[in-house]
Amino acid sequence: MQSSNHVLNPELIHIRRLFATPLASIQHPDAQWLNSELKALVAQRMAADLSGAQRSNEGGWQSTDDFSAWGGEACTALVQFAIEFANQLTAVHHVHHGFIEPAFEWKLNAWVNVNQAGHSNALHGHPGAFWSGVYWVDAGGDKDDAAAGGDLEFIDPRGMVASTYNPALRMRVEDCLTAGFSSTCAASSGTFVMFPAWLMHSVRRYDGTRPRISIAFNFGT
């Protein structure tokens, strides 16, 4: 019986990465001015509504979800930036023309989150929306921002995957090494991230030395 001397060439392996889940991010081009204005606006709102709202926050302060109607140049600028961001990530399927750019008006709601040391946000999703987003007005932290924690954490919607069989196993494929595990995104002042609204997410415990201010967005149709 003749044995095979053929060696598998890994370069000949064709891989399709199915069911990708996007996490998009962009830095606001005028973040320094924008964030300075927004911090002053948030401080005014907090002073007028000390109790705030209650959603996923475990500690901290959240505003009502009418941020887009607060008014002022900075608020209007961020909302317009958020809408353009959502539009750039969205295609609409037309029965005759295929995929086209959106030409509708989003149903948008947004609210402010202010977390102090020890605060976090429980695991949740945003039913009824298509995109969700977070803009960090002030990431807080200290000189060693990595030690501040408070990362935005996403849960793999496919479940435990490989870890069901052996927690040490990983899929040695680009962008698949974390399959079945959570992925995180560190806060950064002036950065806007966008992700599917159904993607379950939480905010880990924050331990920074000054308040972390963020603005959450939902986009529906």
Query: Tens digit of pLDDT for each residue in 140-178?
Result: 977 566 678 999 999 999 887 766 678 788 888 988 888
33 located within any domain: yes
Residue 167 lies in a domain: no
Number of domains within the chain: 1
What string of DSSP letters covers the chain?
Answer: -PPP-----GGG------S----EEEE-TTHHHHHHHHHHHHHHHHHH-SS-B-SSEESSEE--SBGGGS-SHHHHHHHHHHHHHHHHT--EEETTTEEE---S--EEEEEEEEE-TT-EEEEE--TT-SEEEEEEEE----SSGGGGB--EEE--TT-SGGGGT-TT----STT-TTTTS-EEE---TTEEEEEETTS-EEEPPB--SS-EEEEEEEEE-
What per-residue confidence (pLDDT) applies to 9? 93
Segments forming the whole domain that contains residue 75: 22-151+186-220
Spans of the chain, pLDDT less than 70:
1-5, 143-146, 162-164
Give the domain CATH number at 85: 2.60.120.620
In a domain, 164, yes or no: no
29 is a domain residue = yes
